[in-house]
Chain A
């Protein structure tokens, strides 16, 4: 059980650090970055479900993110809904988008699929931009309020106005999503998804209904991306069609690839690394995307498992050497 308790310890430490963070970090801007990293991590984790584990390169996740963000923002600002109540419909709208796109594209082979998802993503973006009456078009939605205070019986309210409170909210959502993905992966469904990623023919001959499982992963992934969008909208308090565009999804792809496709922590590591480090290296601001692109090429060519995958293999090599032969 030593491995198990080591993991438990690491998780405990990580949680402790995460919870203590707002009190340790004094720089406002850095804190903002960290919150953004958490939100992007939720998006990356959702994308990892389809990209890392099922092997589907979806370029539409930016659109799902946007659908979730816009649904929540619109319901809160225009219909005066309680923030928390907007979460299920926002996730549903995103999931509906996922199912719609999935049904149309999942029968296509890899490359066709990727480009088709992107096309649909573009359509969604365009609609969000042009449908002025509903979405305020390019002007965007502003003054999105913080999450509605939750009444605590007898003890006043739990408010979310401060950045710290929003940070904890984002963190909590991230934790829930991670738990969801973990439990899904370590179950027969997860095994089926990974089988699809590695060898579709073999998987289907073992009884795995490819379309069904791809659709399943895709719709849950879309819902989760929508959830990330909801948190984003309430934190940034201002939304415009660009935010709902595809670039967030593209970034998420890059974070996952560099962090480690198909690994559990990959998306987290990648996001954290790539959101914070470039800001620290402010000097290269202009070159940021250029370097990111180059890093992407290098990573996928020489280190396809990403950072986390590379570390894993390093560890495996060490333990194999240390273990006595059977």
Chain B
């Protein structure tokens, strides 16, 4: 467990792809139970940051601690095991499986049965499978997908597919959830629903990091915000401070997001 109680600690983290530095010298931390948003113009390195935190990409330099553990040498499944769940900018689900099956795959890290128990179909195995099913349904409840449990994930409307992805990330019961543009393609009402969902998740004790473009959502839901521009952190703090900061406004000049008012 983290000695400082911080969920994520980034210190002078840099990620370079050849000559291109996608993330430069970024330093900030995320506290427990926060909803922490990362914003910035397109191409400012936000998704790369998420890839670094979740172990998908290795940092070029700097240190990253997640839930107190140094993750620089860890691969993505190991970071996941520490207690991190994430979604992707382009919604990734297992399209040919049902929504419930998607959630059950997500519970991978919570599985305690092994190969031989599966072969012997022991009582313990059956009980565990039933338990996984139950917990998966509970998670579908949280994200509001109970009614769609038996539908193929690929056939569910787009807005709900994002929720399937969230359900999968939650299925492992992570302490930290990284959501990359969860409102992509969502309409007004769906955005409000998502905001409520985020708060529900936070209330269950999960810390959330969010990449977002919709400023209204960011303002209303975030405890703290970090702003990236060109890979560098230009500002960090509470919503009012950050969103009125002139550097931030300047970074966004020329980038008109229609739904941000």
Contact = CB atoms under 8 A, between A and B. Distances in A.
Q: Do chains A and B touch in the complex (CB under 8 A)?
A: yes
Interface of A: 180, 183-184, 186-189, 191-192, 194-195, 198-199, 201-210, 216, 326
A114 B219 CA distance: 50
Given A191-B105, A192-B105, 7 more contacts: A187-B113, A194-B97, A199-B94, A203-B105, A205-B76, A206-B106, A206-B172
Interface of B: 54, 56, 75-78, 80-81, 85-86, 88, 92-97, 101, 104-109, 111, 113, 115, 118-119, 121, 125, 129, 132, 147, 168-169, 171-172
Contacts of A206: 77, 80, 85, 105-106, 108-109, 168-169, 171-172
- Centre residue among B85, B94, B172 by max chain A CB count within 10 A: B94
Contacts of A210: 77
Contacts of B93: 202
Contact of B96 (A189, A198, A203, A209): A198
Contact of A208 (B77, B88, B97, B132): B77
A198 B93 CA distance: 9
Nearest to B104: A191
Contacts of B92: 199, 201-202
A43 B135 CA distance: 37
Given A195-B105, A202-B94, A207 B172 contact: yes
> Chain B interface mostly helix, strand, loop or mixed?
helix
Contact of A205 (B54, B96, B101, B104): B54
A62 B36 CA distance: 54
Contact of B108 (A180, A184, A188, A326): A188
Given A205-B77, A206-B172, A191 B118 contact: no
Contacts of A198: 94-97
Contacts of A195: 94, 105, 108
A204 B108 contact: no
Contacts of B147: 326
B77 A191 contact: no
B113 A188 contact: yes
Contacts of A180: 119
A73 B127 CA distance: 43
B76 A204 contact: yes
A81 B94 CA distance: 49
- Centre residue among B95, B108, B147 by max chain A CB count within 10 A: B108
B58 to A, nearest CB: 14
Given A188-B108, A192-B105, A207 B81 contact: yes
A206 B119 CA distance: 24
B109 A189 contact: no
A207 B118 contact: no
Given A192-B108, A205-B80, A210-B77, A183 B96 contact: no
B86 A205 contact: yes
B115 A184 contact: yes
Contacts of A207: 77, 80-81, 108-109, 172
Contacts of B171: 206
